[in-house]
Amino acid sequence: METLEFIIYPDGRVQEKVTGIVGASCAEVTAALEAELGIVLTQETTSEYYAQNQQQSDSATTHVGSSHW
């Protein structure tokens, strides 16, 4: 499940935490929000950022050969 969590501090700083999005697409999801919020001071990537999407395939590989019985 994709989750965006925001902590707004009394001094106006906003901390944003993104979970559930694999790969660099989290930057695409948050770009518009960050543009509206202002200057990004720091950015930390998580292990999800470096993970690759696991896609399941319904295809099967068949090996055809001759039998020498």
pLDDT in tens, 14-63: 999 999 988 888 888 889 988 998 888 898 888 888 887 655 444 444 44
Q: Is residue 42 part of a domain?
A: yes
Residue 7, domain extent: 3-50
What is the number of domains present in the chain?
A: 1
Q: Is residue 31 part of a domain?
A: yes
Q: Is residue 68 part of a domain?
A: no
Cβ burial 6-20 (10 Å sphere, 16+ → b, else e): eeeeeeeeeeeebee
pLDDT in tens, 59-68: 444 444 454 5
Q: Is residue 24 part of a domain?
A: yes
Residue 60: what pLDDT?
46
Q: What is the pTM of this model?
A: 0.62
